[in-house]
Amino acid sequence: MSKDLIVSKDIVRKYDIPYSTVTHYTNLGFLNVVERKGNKRLYNSVEVGEQLGKIKKLINMGYPLRLIRDILINKEQLNGIS
């Protein structure tokens, strides 16, 4: 496995969040699955750290997950504009 990729189990340990949260964030589109190997989902470790940092900051500011999703999606779309 590449050093740049991380599995759900390692995200749970490294960031001390429940497995259900990793799954929920994946389903909401916060965490992107880069590759699948069998029943394992592989994520970009740098992207996971950045996204979880943004999510935590916005949650601490009082934003609900639905609004956080909109903020993150719009930010990605704006970054793609030259």
CATH of 5-79, picked from 1.10.1660.10, 3.90.420.10, 3.30.450.20, 3.90.1200.10, is 1.10.1660.10
Please spell the DSSP secondary structure of 1-68, one letter per residue. --TTEEEHHHHHHHHT--HHHHHHHHHHTSS-EEEEETTEEEEEHHHHHHHHHHHHHHHHTT--HHHH
Task: Give pLDDT tens digits for 33-68.
Answer: 999 999 999 999 999 999 999 999 999 999 999 999
Structural domain boundaries of the chain?
5-79
Q: Would the pTM of this model clear 0.85, i.e. be above it?
A: no
